Chain A
């Protein structure tokens, strides 16, 4: 199935994102009551993304890369920032092809970005004038999306 421009836009906007300070075991260091901390395994992150796709009316099927019309990229890592503070960075994005054949997704701020096969680099904002460029572990899944009948 070829996705329409409208469907591509809808799919590109699907994402999951969580970022929090962790202790030495990778668990939230300062849990705040009422705040949701996503602590998911790799397969659970992908399942969350697939659930979002299914809610929008798509069937998701794992296929060979040349037949895919979407790439689900999930990331999950613990990284150290200043003063030995460790943060969990976890989430997922959906990439669809643009008119030039590049895989494109959207950040949580709505900025489009291209799939980099070799790495996944994120810009994490602490303040308006302070951000952190960080590389995180990732897995890609090539899928074929079709509209549910």
Chain B
């Protein structure tokens, strides 16, 4: 199924993001469901649930046949100033109209990110005037989304 531009934007703005400050022993401050950080496959499952809520079903497929990439990322220890943080989340990419690039959208339907195959960097705002680009580990899942 080829996705309309409207659908591409709807899917491409699905994103999950968490930033936890870490205690000196490495445990995150704050309570997550199940009282622990979600694993990569649990984050992917949450994205699939969001897709399902929007009326889509997704199945894992060969990359050449995919119309969406779910990227799950984690950086379990990033130090900013003297504090340590854990950053985890996911991004949904769809193919830019008329291009071969995988892109993500913001809520205003503007392209805010082009997928890089070699690395993943997220911009995190720790203080209002201070944002930082942070490299994370990541896993991609190529899926075919259908209604």
Q: Tell me, rounded to whole Å, the shortest Cβ–Cβ distance linking A47 to chain B.
A: 9
Query: Is A76 located at the chain interface by the 8 A CB criterion?
Result: yes
Query: Is B40 located at the chain interface by the 8 A CB criterion?
Result: yes
Top 9 A-B pairs, shortest CB-CB distance: A65-B63, A139-B139, A42-B40, A117-B62, A43-B137, A137-B41, A64-B117, A62-B118, A118-B60
Beyond A62-B118, A141-B140: 20 further Cβ-contacts under 8 Å? A41-B39, A42-B40, A42-B139, A43-B74, A43-B139, A61-B118, A62-B119, A63-B118, A64-B117, A65-B63, A76-B39, A117-B60, A117-B142, A118-B59, A119-B60, A139-B139, A140-B140, A140-B141, A140-B142, A142-B117
Point out the residue from B40, B59, B62 that lies within 8 Å of A139, measured CB to CB.
Answer: B40
22 pairs, CB–CB < 8 Å, chain A vs chain B: A41-B39, A42-B41, A43-B40, A61-B118, A62-B118, A63-B117, A63-B118, A65-B142, A66-B63, A66-B64, A76-B39, A76-B41, A117-B60, A117-B62, A117-B142, A118-B61, A119-B60, A139-B139, A139-B140, A139-B141, A141-B139, A141-B140
Contact with A along B71-96 (1 / 0, CB 8 A): 00010000000000000000000000
Number of residues of chain B lying within 8 A (CB) of chain A: 18
B interface SS class: mixed
Contact with A along B105-144 (1 / 0, CB 8 A): 0000000000001110000000000000000010111100
Q: CA of A41 to CA of B64 in the docked complex: distance in angstroms? A: 28
